[in-house]
């Protein structure tokens, strides 16, 4: 993988702002993909074969993704440039097969919002994104065969409700992607998006990490203490409670 710049390049920032999502192909090595998939297979089929702390994501091998440099340079560019102001509030595995009967198409979100959860703002040369999904595609995805679909730019659209006819998968306003295994997809929850029925012989194997600004939480907390306690201190900080870190300072602790 080429050397990463500490923040998104001007071109990457432009594309994320324009579309509301960005794809980085082939970020993870095969070796790392295998380690994480092995953990996920065991969670699905044989959780007892893992130590208790690794039976919940993002414990165990998956913890290497919590602050992966390719994620952090993006989050530092679109949520906050200080790591301590970024939270990780939800993680799940999206495992889909061609025959699992998953409902597939389900467009949601989109449009400018003053709701802090789904907030997406541009101000003075920088992006302020609220809830942001970081998706690791651990298997290859072919375009139109089950990756997440988006209406590019819809995080900034003004008219609502969204006209029903544009929610049709064939309306012509939707886009999606193909990518090799180990690719990284990052999108603002504010962009209109949808799951798609999975149409490939290999399963969808995607890990969804949901980040947000430290002052906001959308999901109900569900992480178990034994998993959190097993993480390094650098990783534990992503699960801090929802408050501004200034209250950790000596001055506020004395009050």
Ligand X SMILES: O=C(O)CCC(=O)C(=O)O
Comparison of 166 and 208: residue with beta carbon closer to ligand X: 208
**Binding of residue 195 to ligand X (CB under 6 A):** yes
In the stretch 106-135, what mask flags binding to ligand X with x, by CB under 6 A?
---------------------------x--
Regarding 155 and contact with ligand X (CB under 6 A), the answer is: no
Residues touching ligand X: how many (CB under 6 A)? Answer: 6
Considering beta carbons, is residue 203 or 226 the nearer one to ligand X?
203
Position 92 contacts ligand X (CB under 6 A): no
**Per rule CB under 6 A, is residue 193 in the interface with ligand X?**
yes
If you count them, how many residues does the chain have? 255
Q: How far is the CB of 135 from ligand X (least distance, A)?
A: 7
In whole angstroms, the minimum distance from the beta carbon of 229 to ligand X comes to 27
Check residue 217 for interaction with ligand X (CB under 6 A): no
Which lies closer to ligand X via its Cβ, residue 61 or residue 195? 195
Q: What are phi and psi of 23, to 5 degrees?
A: -120, 130
- Distances in Å between the Cα of 15 and the Cα atoms of 9, 19, 141, 178, 202 are 10, 6, 21, 17, 30
Beta carbon nearer to ligand X, 128 or 208: 208
User: Binders of ligand X among 9-48, rule CB under 6 A?
Assistant: none
Question: Contact at 8 Å (CB) between 53 and 227?
Answer: yes
Which one of residues 94, 154, 188, 212 is an interface residue with ligand X (CB under 6 A)?
94
Q: Which of 71, 77, 129, 148: binder of ligand X (CB under 6 A)?
A: 148
Q: What are phi and psi of 137, to 5 degrees?
A: -85, 105
d(CA 219, CA 131): 10
- State the Cα–Cα distance between residues 30 and 89, nearest whole angstrom: 27
How far apart are alpha carbons 208 and 58 in whole angstroms?
10
Beta bridge partners of 123: 126
Q: Evaluate whether 35 touches 61 at the Cβ level (below 8 Å).
A: yes
CB of 128 to ligand X, least distance (A): 20
Interface residues with ligand X (CB under 6 A) are: 94, 133, 148, 193, 195, 208
């Amino acid at each position: 993988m080429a050397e990463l710049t500490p923040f998104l390049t001007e071109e990457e920032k432009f594309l994320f702002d324009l579309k509301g999502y960005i794809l980085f192909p082939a970020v993870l090595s095969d070796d790392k993909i295998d380690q994480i998939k092995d953990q996920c297979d065991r969670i699905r089929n044989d959780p007892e074969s893992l130590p208790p702390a690794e039976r919940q994501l993002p414990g165990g091998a998956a913890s290497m993704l919590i602050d992966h440099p390719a994620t952090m340079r993006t989050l530092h560019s679109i949520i906050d440039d200080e790591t301590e102001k970024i939270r990780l509030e939800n993680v799940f595995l999206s495992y889909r097969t061609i025959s699992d009967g998953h409902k597939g198409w389900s467009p949601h979100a989109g449009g400018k919002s003053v709701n802090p959860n789904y907030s997406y703002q541009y101000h003075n040369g920088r992006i302020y994104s609220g809830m942001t999904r970081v998706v690791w595609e651990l298997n290859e995805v072919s375009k139109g065969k089950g990756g997440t679909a988006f209406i590019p730019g819809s995080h900034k659209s003004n008219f609502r409700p969204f006209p029903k006819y544009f929610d049709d998968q064939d309306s012509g306003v939707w886009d999606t992607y193909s990518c090799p295994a180990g690719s990284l997809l990052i999108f603002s929850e504010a962009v209109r998006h949808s799951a798609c029925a999975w149409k490939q012989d290999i399963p969808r194997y995607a890990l969804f990490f949901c980040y947000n600004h430290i002052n906001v939480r959308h999901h109900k907390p569900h992480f178990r203490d034994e998993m959190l306690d097993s993480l390094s201190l650098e990783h534990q900080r992503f699960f801090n409670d929802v408050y501004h870190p200034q209250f950790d300072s000596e001055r506020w602790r004395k009050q």
